[in-house]
Amino acid sequence: MRRRYVLLLLLISAVFPLSARTTGYYHSATATASGYLGFSHFEDEIPARTAFSGSAALGVFGYQSQHWDGSLELYFQDASRSLPYGLYRSRGFTSIGIAARSSYTMNNKFSLYGQAGTEVNFYHQIEEAFASFSLQLGGQLLLMENPSYQLFMTLPLSLHLRKEITALQVGIGLRYHLFPYHEGGT
Amino acid sequence: MRKLILLLLSLILILSSCELYMDEPEMGDVYAIMVGLDYKNNSQDDLKGTLNDVDELHIVFGKMAESSDSNYFGYTFKQEGVAYTSAVNHSIGTTMVNAYPSIENIEQAIKALVNQTDDNDLILFTYSGHGKDDGTIALGATSYSDAALSPVQEILDYFVDFDIKGRKLIILDTCFSGLSLPENPGSSNTVLGSSIDDWYAKYWENSTYVLPDMYVLTASADTLSYEIDLDPSISADHRHGLFTAGLLKALGWGHPHPNPDTLQIPPAAKESVLTVDSLYGYILDFIEEHPDFNPQWNILKLNETKQHPLVSGGAMDMVLFRF
């Protein structure tokens, strides 16, 4: 059993050798799981309702230089209804949106990023839709890379700005960069 | 900086567990006003399932209230046969109201709830009968030629104008009932037609969402709604509105009728809680299981519409019963 883990680790290390700096055009994929804390703008039974959300983003077009990086992202999010409490529950919904994302590399391992986007949202159970905006700030930790790939762990803090609710999301995710032109690298 | 992060994380942790440490409000009593008409006393087409709707909803709502340890006060208003009045009089609080479903009696019944209900109570209002695409419903007539049309909005306004306390669920099993759905300030209905422009326009609109204490659940959007024979094998059929048949099934009822005492947690309940959404989802599935009333999409019949229930409410779902 332990040998299997060692082999897996060796395989991952071979695919993603560490400490290779990668620059150039890239595509990306991100998956995040978050807690979704909704603060209502109306008088509710409790100050905030707790739900959970999962999101996936595809970076259609991105460019990374030594320190800065920017990307256009298409993303999907699914938020659950809130935990049972009282005489009401907030409704769950699915979102699709676009965002612009930029990050600044602090050192070989860590970068800070910010993201701003807008999305349309569809409630799960009822046929109603609404528009919203979102802002995200976070840190990303480089786990592995080679001249063609990078894998980060992300720690995003997001604001979901809805008309009747502002939600704070705290999560953890993985982000993968693919450099199709294999530019740079040492 | 580190202190700020710790403070932020602590705040998030405290707020995200609001549901765990705050006392939950108690569920209150259940009041139900159920209206059904067979239209045998006027010139409109007779309906055969509406009185069954009323009678069986009365039984099932009573059992639901009992199962969730709530008191139940149910009042049926039926127009049955050729009479223009009812032999039954309801005592609602201190008011006596005749059970014939004229607009005056309905208004009186709603008004009689003033000072009877409190914020945690649940008030159900159901209507089974004809409806028109101008947002009116046909209540109890005063003569054969009287169509007795009243705007749905007038009935919704009674609850607001008389300041009836409690959570209200208005259930309309009638054609075109979706046209009476209150507009939500935060989101737009996609069945009745809206586009991405409307969704963004609504975001910037100068309107405010308040936690709704009145939800409207309708049998159809902007189309006809139908009746269904639940027992086509025998000559004496047993009809219901298709929508109400789904509602009754969602609450654990059916045909042949089960023993009311055996009704427990209804099939539409999730995690032992019955909400407007769980009820709505169940009814939607029930109607989709009946393709006779819902033409499947066909390239040759692009304009064919189907009965599609709707519900109001926006960002929040409302709890009806906790078991």
Residue with tokens 């890239």: A26
Using pLDDT thresholds of 50, 70 and 90, give the confidence band for residue A18: very low
Q: How many CB atoms lie within 10 A of CB B23?
A: 6
pLDDT at site B231: 83
Give yes or no for a contact between A140 and A110, defined as CB atoms under 8 angstroms apart: yes
pLDDT at site B296: 54
DSSP state letter for A22: B
pLDDT at site A11: 63
Domains and CATH numbers, chain B: 25-322 (3.40.50.1460)
Interface of A with B (CB under 8 A): 35, 37, 40-50, 81-91, 120, 122-123, 125-132, 162-165, 168, 170
Residue B124 tokens read as: 């159900």
Residue A79, SS3 per DSSP: strand
pLDDT at site A185: 46
Is B314 close to A164, i.e. CB distance below 8 A? yes
- Nearest alpha carbon to residue B216 among B179, B271, B265: B179
Residue B34 tokens read as: 């159920």
Kindly report the nearest CA distance between residue B107 and chain A, in angstroms: 27
Low-confidence ranges of chain B (pLDDT < 50): none
Q: What CATH topology corresponds to A28-178? A: Porin (2.40.160)
Q: Using CB atoms and an 8 Å cut-off, which of residues 90-149 of chain B contact chain A?
A: 120
Kindly report the nearest CA distance between residue A168 and chain B, in angstroms: 8
Here the ipTM equals: 0.88
Per-residue model confidence as pLDDT tens digits over B197-215? 999 999 999 988 999 999 9
Listed in sequence order, the DSSP H helices in chain A are 2-15
CA distances from B105 to A72, A161, B57, B100, B140 (A): 62, 46, 20, 7, 9
Is A42 close to B209, i.e. CB distance below 8 A? yes
Query: In chain A, where are the structural domains located?
Result: 28-178
Per-residue model confidence as pLDDT tens digits over A34-49? 999 999 999 999 999 9
CA distances from B228 to B46, B134, B315 (A): 14, 25, 33
Kindly report the nearest CA distance between residue B308 and chain A, in angstroms: 10
CB-based contact (8 Å) between B27 and chain A? yes
Residue of A nearest to B208 (CA): A164
pLDDT at site B251: 96
Using pLDDT thresholds of 50, 70 and 90, give the confidence band for residue A19: very low
How far apart are alpha carbons A172 and A35 in whole angstroms? Answer: 9
Residue with tokens 């909400």: B275
Kindly report the nearest CA distance between residue B195 and chain A, in angstroms: 9
Residue of A nearest to B271 (CA): A84
pLDDT at site A20: 46
